[in-house]
Structure 1
């Protein structure tokens, strides 16, 4: 159902008031929920999700063979006779921060899942036509998706690097550019990210990531602080306007 009260034109031109009206509408229609750290967020294709507070971690789940076979026909027969040969493999896809939208696309054999990356992460969900309540906000959502698409193109370019250490540094740089917060002599990710999660994102292993992170630190290209928060030094950190 739509909200009975529509925003005025003056309110629609002011993003903060529009966002507050969206939050009020979501609470009124029970479309908002708060999640604990690492709690799975129930999502499905065809809906629009907005992160009100915290951060959402997106991952891709694919079914891979637990046992390789020498020929495709043999593998197919073994798979049909023993479904347990298929095991899920998880790959980190990125973060969605507060104030940002996301949606889920289903494409066999892959599924996209979302988790609260930090405690007290609040997510709003709605149908796309609900945005008709707030035309200005709808434009903001579409602009945010266009920006995310541009960032994914950069991500793909980074993953195309031949050397793992280049993929690693490019991946960290993109994350800090998008989500980093000012810290002493640079910018830091506001949340922790495990070496296994990084490895799944760049097509490597946890052991390799740990080794290469040490190399990047020794070269002064990255550093860590606090609870192993990843930082870029000021010379490599994103510039603010």
Structure 2
């Protein structure tokens, strides 16, 4: 299987599914694929998905991540961004690599750690998925206990909060209550295509400061 994976070429936006993959095989595949790769994985009780994102997917991921980081910085909220770190739980036989993720409330609990295993460590407080290729697996995130999942679908932001093991779409993020992020984040994402990144980020930071004063 490992030899076949090394020979495998997955075009951007496409995915490969492998069935009956044991946890030990999953761990070995992760090791052989390495951390510096474009492909993303999802593992659900023996079913392994390997997907390569589209270029526009990566652009949206970077800009939205920049906006989230700017939001946290302007609100003076400590956080740790772990990108597409592999999150896994051997007991649940599940694993996922988000487009990006943020430790916020649990930042102190993972500070200084180089490796995370959700069998022992807390999950990220916020996971981000850009759904240009319908890749998101909400049930895996829910099983791993990620409190908040943001999904971009057709240019729209969905904010999902975990309640009793299932995600419920809500209007406001529990992390950023009272901020109309479902409208604001897509707006500034689009602005980047018109005015450029730096001008857009400056405008967004100014908006956050104004909202902070109102609060």
TM-score category, normalised to shorter length: under 0.3
- Provide the TM-score with structure 2 as the length reference: 0.28
- Give the number of the structure with larger relative contact order, counting CA–CA contacts within 8 Å between residues 6 or more apart: 1
Larger Rg: 1
Q: Which has the higher strand share?
A: 1
- TM-score, with length taken from structure 1: 0.25
